[in-house]
Amino acid sequence: MTAAANPRTPVYLDYQATTPADPQVVEAMLPYFTGIFGNPHSQGHGFGRAARDAVEAARAEIAALIGASPREIVFTSGATEANNLAIKGAARFHRAERDHIVTSVTEHKCVLESCASLAADGFTVSTLPVQADGLIDLERLEAAISPRTVLVSVMAANNEIGVVAPLAAIGRLCRARGVLFHTDAAQALGKIPLDVEAMGIDLMSLSAHKLYGPKGIGALYVRRRPRVRLEPLLSGGGQERGLRSGTLATPLCVGFGAACRIAQTEMAAEAERIGALRDHLWRRLSQELPGVRLNGTAAARLPGNLNISIPAIGDAEALLAALPDVAISTGSACTSAAVEASYVLRALGIGEAAARTGVRIGLGRFTTRAEIDYACERIVSAVQRLSACAQPAWSNALEAIETGPAGSP
């Protein structure tokens, strides 16, 4: 691979972990660090009102991307806080009459840990398994809902394997049973169409840095009709309709809004381009790597996600170490310090050995064909080097991979 064919190294292919801020987003934010620096809650003078107007414009841009009203958008520090507020807030507000939560085993850690915290406080939590394709069984979900169920929480798109949940079907089920439906849409926002009305969603967690916005800002959609009531996590000045006290970071809000505005116009074309690059990468890897397998369904998947098990490497960490100029990951960035195999991959029913060989490759807005070809060559070369010293683990991994959904994403 010549330098001309690959003008940009190292190659970044971890877009599910985070995305670079779009230059248009940075440009939109800059004036609000210096010239328009007022506190958006200080409305007695022009500095504060200018900041407030910018925040409200951003709120409208975020709402438009998910089919919501601007008044239904509550700013948070990110999706982790939004998930905590949605799950703990709804459960605690309705505790007197309902004390049961339903979720799935492949949810983000902040959802699972929020549910665990509630369980320790006396709530009942049903954590449902997923099928071999990574999707929840709707019949099993329906059976898990009881008269005491207050909330169902199922993520829109999985952060590791990229599978997209049947949100509209879950929404209809929850609405028919009178249960709140929360979805963690941090990975889905700006990548696939979302409509809170059409999908029957009551609470939706969002994050800016997954769609080319700044880190440190997110939002929670909270339905107003019929009204969803939450108990706040923070005590303070009562900002954000009393649901999230604290001074808003105007530049970050503006950046989040700008990122959503860009996604509104570019999402369809971008998904087509990125999906084509991903399919090209998968074709090459599946042809050149023995025993490689796709994790999660190919039919309903984020366009930029490819999660594969490569049994020849023995352990995914060895592959990452052998690729200093290609950024891929072994799973969620939020659990990357853990040395055990991915809990998401294990939930699909593949064995421990196969789960240890799983890698996540994330493509995004700034990924080029040259980068994909370069990364493919580097990955194949590294696997070939590693395979000679990983034969026992390779054999175990091949035995552990069960027959299931595989093929072209």
Q: Which residues are catalytic?
A: 334
Q: At what angle do helices 46-66 and 250-288 cross, to 10 degrees?
A: 30
Beta bridge partners of 301: 163
The closest alpha carbon to 196, from 166, 167, 228, 164, belongs to 167
CA dist., res. 113 & res. 111, Å (int): 5
Sign of CA dihedral 194, 196, 197, 198: positive
Question: Would you put residue 405 in left (φ > 0), alpha (ψ -120 to 50) or beta?
Answer: beta
Q: How many CB atoms lie within 10 A of CB 46?
A: 10
* Other C-beta atoms lying within 10 Å of the C-beta of residue 43: 13
Return the CA Rg of the chain. 22
CA distance 154 to 6: 40
Q: What's the token pair of residue 30?
A: 């800059």
User: Residue 122, exposed/middle/buried by CB under 10 A (0-12, 13-18, 19+)?
Assistant: exposed
Residues 58/257, Cβ–Cβ less than 8 Å = yes
Closest CA to 376 of 272, 266, 292: 292
Name 296's bridge partners: none
